[in-house]
Amino acid sequence: MLDARGGIVALRAAVGLFEDPDVKLRTWAAQSVQRWHPSPDGRRGDAEVGELLDRSRHLFSDHMLRRRKWEAGVDL
Protein backbone atom coordinates (compact mmCIF):
# COMPACT_ATOMS: atom_id res chain seq x y z
CA MET A 1 0.00 0.00 0.00
CA LEU A 2 2.77 2.46 0.87
CA ASP A 3 4.55 1.84 -2.45
CA ALA A 4 1.41 2.64 -4.42
CA ARG A 5 1.90 6.42 -4.44
CA GLY A 6 5.61 6.32 -5.22
CA GLY A 7 7.80 9.41 -5.23
CA ILE A 8 8.60 11.27 -2.06
CA VAL A 9 5.46 9.97 -0.33
CA ALA A 10 6.73 6.38 -0.55
CA LEU A 11 10.25 7.40 0.48
CA ARG A 12 8.98 9.38 3.47
CA ALA A 13 6.76 6.50 4.62
CA ALA A 14 9.50 3.88 4.26
CA VAL A 15 12.14 5.91 6.09
CA GLY A 16 9.61 6.59 8.84
CA LEU A 17 9.32 2.84 9.42
CA PHE A 18 13.03 2.25 10.10
CA GLU A 19 12.35 2.32 13.86
CA ASP A 20 9.18 0.20 13.79
CA PRO A 21 9.20 -2.71 16.27
CA ASP A 22 8.03 -5.13 13.55
CA VAL A 23 11.09 -6.73 11.91
CA LYS A 24 9.21 -7.62 8.74
CA LEU A 25 7.99 -4.05 8.35
CA ARG A 26 11.49 -2.65 8.89
CA THR A 27 12.85 -5.10 6.29
CA TRP A 28 10.15 -4.09 3.81
CA ALA A 29 10.91 -0.41 4.46
CA ALA A 30 14.63 -0.93 3.81
CA GLN A 31 13.90 -2.80 0.56
CA SER A 32 11.46 -0.12 -0.53
CA VAL A 33 14.07 2.61 -0.01
CA GLN A 34 16.65 0.62 -1.95
CA ARG A 35 14.21 0.26 -4.88
CA TRP A 36 13.14 3.91 -4.74
CA HIS A 37 13.67 6.25 -7.67
CA PRO A 38 12.27 9.76 -8.04
CA SER A 39 9.01 9.92 -9.94
CA PRO A 40 9.26 11.58 -13.35
CA ASP A 41 6.69 14.21 -12.38
CA GLY A 42 8.25 14.87 -8.98
CA ARG A 43 9.94 18.11 -8.03
CA ARG A 44 13.70 17.91 -8.63
CA GLY A 45 16.05 19.25 -6.00
CA ASP A 46 13.71 18.70 -3.04
CA ALA A 47 15.79 19.11 0.12
CA GLU A 48 13.55 16.65 1.98
CA VAL A 49 14.54 13.90 -0.47
CA GLY A 50 18.20 14.58 0.30
CA GLU A 51 17.53 14.38 4.03
CA LEU A 52 15.57 11.13 3.70
CA LEU A 53 18.28 9.57 1.56
CA ASP A 54 20.91 10.67 4.09
CA ARG A 55 18.91 8.92 6.83
CA SER A 56 19.03 5.82 4.60
CA ARG A 57 22.74 5.93 3.82
CA HIS A 58 23.34 2.67 5.71
CA LEU A 59 21.41 0.89 2.92
CA PHE A 60 23.56 2.14 0.04
CA SER A 61 27.15 2.16 -1.10
CA ASP A 62 28.57 5.68 -1.45
CA HIS A 63 28.23 5.36 -5.22
CA MET A 64 24.56 4.37 -5.12
CA LEU A 65 23.68 7.09 -2.62
CA ARG A 66 25.29 9.72 -4.87
CA ARG A 67 23.44 8.26 -7.86
CA ARG A 68 20.03 8.39 -6.13
CA LYS A 69 20.70 12.00 -5.08
CA TRP A 70 21.78 12.87 -8.61
CA GLU A 71 18.61 11.29 -10.03
CA ALA A 72 16.57 13.41 -7.62
CA GLY A 73 18.49 16.58 -8.44
CA VAL A 74 19.74 16.92 -4.88
CA ASP A 75 23.05 18.68 -4.45
CA LEU A 76 25.74 16.49 -3.02
Q: Check residue 29 and give its pLDDT.
A: 96
pLDDT higher than threshold 60 for residue 7: yes
Question: What is the radius of gyration, based on Cα positions, of the chain?
Answer: 12
pLDDT digits (tens, 9 = 90+) for 39-70: 887 788 999 999 999 999 999 999 999 999 99
In this prediction, residue 3 carries a pLDDT of 59
What's the whole-model pTM score?
A: 0.87
Residue 7 contacts residue 39 (beta carbons within 8 Å)? yes
Q: Choose between 45 and 6: higher pLDDT.
A: 45
Q: What rounded mean pLDDT belongs to the chain?
A: 91
What band does 5 get if pLDDT is binned at 50, 70 and 90?
A: low
Question: Which string of b and e fits 27-44 if b means at least 16 CB within 10 Å?
Answer: ebbbebbeebebeeebee
